[in-house]
Structure 1
Amino acid sequence: MAPQKQIILITGASSGIGLVTTASLISTPTNHVIMGVRNLAKGEKCLKDLQSQRPQGTLSLLELDVTNDDSISAAINQISMDFGRIDSLINNAGIAEGGKHPTRAELRNLFEINVFGPTILTNSLIPLLQNSPAPKVINVSSERGSIHNCANPAESKYGDGGLPAYRVTKAALNMLTVTQYKELKSFGCKVWCYCPGFVISNLGGAELQPMRKQMGAEDPQTSADGIVEILQGKRDSEVGMFIGRAGEQIRW
């Protein structure tokens, strides 16, 4: 009998770390990745490209705007009908914007995507996670959300205090991870907070990619490799922790 497919939902799957992670995950034939995307046209193009590059993988596309409750409800209904469960949820969708003094509108937008979205989506998916024999949740955060490192800049290259609004939302996401870990372990769900590192991505806008590269940003494949390791069970000893792509633990 063929092994059961692992059903993996990743948000923000049509660009950057999300797209590279999707490509890595479907290299394993026993994975089925649901690409959660806000822009269906862009998502369809990515889906076709991935299917041509990795024909052994199985993929499906799902319109999912984590800032919209109706979109979340429709997406969950579709997953329930198609698969009946979720084995792994990767809350990857996120943005970085706002200067030294962010506006109210910028703050609201950041919190909607970086905090409210993962909160509502994960809570809504609990019944489908409960249907999995080994459910997992990965919240893609950032070391910039570490309160310790921001308060002790000599201990971290990200301790300069820049991007204050982004930092605040990632600190909130880190706390969300801790509360989810405590709640969801009641049915065996493992939860991690994961920093993908400084890589070339669309975070902050695609126009910043050349500057990121000049600043030493690495290939997003390194971030994807870390997520794959978690899903393969290689970091089970660090469940409930804030971890990085290179095997390190990060202080909250």
Structure 2
Amino acid sequence: MVSTKQVILITGANAGIGYDTAALLAASSSNNHVIIGARNVAKGEKALAEIQARKPQGTLSFLQIDVTDDDSIAAAAKKVEADFGCIDVLINNAGISGTQGMAGTTASPTRENLRAVFETNVYGPTLVTEAVLPLLKASKSPKVINVSSGLGSITMRSDPNDPTYSVSFDVYRMSKSALNMLSACHSASFKKFGAKVWAYCPGFVVTNLTGEEDRQNRVNMGAESSETSAQGILEILEGKRDSEAGGFVTRYGKAYPW
């Protein structure tokens, strides 16, 4: 079937930025259908029930998808095709920080950690986007938002005066730089079918990215609510950042250098 609504798929939407984004986009318009993508069925269905209990204007559904598993990605793409016929907005949100560079650790990068972070943060968005490419092409106004990080900016990492200069997270930084390049590549190649692509930094917010035990530390360091991240994504969907398609944007109308 072909949906008459704007179909929005969000990976890693059972918690944090993905959860808040799903809730806000569902609440913002009756024309939105938000697909909560999550690898854990129980957590995904719990998130779906919680957001539906708020009685949003739009509609929602759950989709099991593990961005590190090719079979899961293929099955998810097939289900979305059968249920909706297209994807209007793909938000590649699923991501991990890895262990190297986390608060309280001094561990050097390992091959295992490198693989784990790149599997989720780089290979995942690359292969998910490729799998649903026909569904994006079926949309009248396709959009792709890759949830990146200012820590992936090579320009900012090279500036000793940048506020994040002392932050390590080397493996995470590398993965988000790679995701930014993916965004730039897709922006260039997807223009032929009218798709707009953004790399989006959600800002320093309170999530479980660096572990549940690190939430209070984030608060103490001035992290904001992840609802502010969701608001930034909503503004992209509302067309307020169209002139910056192909770029690296963040909240509050701001942008970052590559």
TM-score band w.r.t. shorter chain? over 0.9
Alignment length, in residue pairs?
249
Match of 1:33 in 2: 34
1:19 equivalenced with 2:19 (yes/no): yes
Rounded to whole Å, the distance in 1 between the matches of 2:167 and 2:84 is 43
- Aligned residue in 2 for 1:69: 70
Q: Distance in 1 between matches of 2:56 and 2:238?
A: 21
Which of 93, 103, 113 aligns to 1:106? It is: 113
**More displaced stretch, 214-223 vs 54-63:** 54-63
**Contact map agreement 2:100 2:113 (CA 8 A) in 1:** no
Equivalent residues in 2 for 1:1-252 (5 A)? 4-27=4-27, 28-100=29-101, 101-154=108-161, 156-252=162-258
Work out the CA distance in 2 between the residues paired with 1:245 and 1:162: 23
| TM-score, reference length from structure 1 | 0.97
User: What corresponds to 2:105 in structure 1?
Assistant: none
Separation in structure 2 between the aligned mates of residue 4 and residue 76 of structure 1, nearest angstrom: 18
Report deviation, 1:153.
2.7
3-state DSSP of counterpart to 1:227 = helix
CA deviations on 1:16-70 (whole Å, 9 max, x unpaired) are 0000000000011110000110100011111111111134331000000000000
Offset of residue 205 of structure 1: 1.4
Specify the SS of the correspondent of 2:130. Answer: helix
SS in 2 for 1:184: helix
Mean Cα displacement is larger for which, 173-182 or 199-208?
199-208
How high is the TM-score relative to the length of structure 2?
0.94
- Deviating above 2 A after TM superposition, structure 1's stretches of 4 or more consecutive aligned residues are 54-57
Do 1:91 and 1:138's aligned partners in 2 also have CA atoms closer than 8 Å?
Answer: yes
Deviations 1:56-90 (A, max 9, x none): 33100000000000000000000000000000000
CA contact (8 A) 1:150 1:161 kept: no
Q: 2:53 is paired with a residue of what secondary structure?
A: helix
Deviation at 1:249, TM superposition (A): 1.3
Q: Percent identity?
A: 53
Q: 1:133 to 1:163 in 2, by over 3 A?
A: same
Gaps of 5+ in 1: none
**CA RMSD, Structure 1 to Structure 2 (Å):** 1.1
Quote the Cα distance in structure 1 between the aligned partners of 2:203 and 2:26: 22
2:192 maps to amino acid: S
In structure 2, C-alpha distance between the alignment counterparts of 1:137 and 1:79, rounded to whole Å: 16
Task: Show structure 2 runs of 5+ residues with no match.
Answer: 102-107
SS in 2 for 1:198: coil
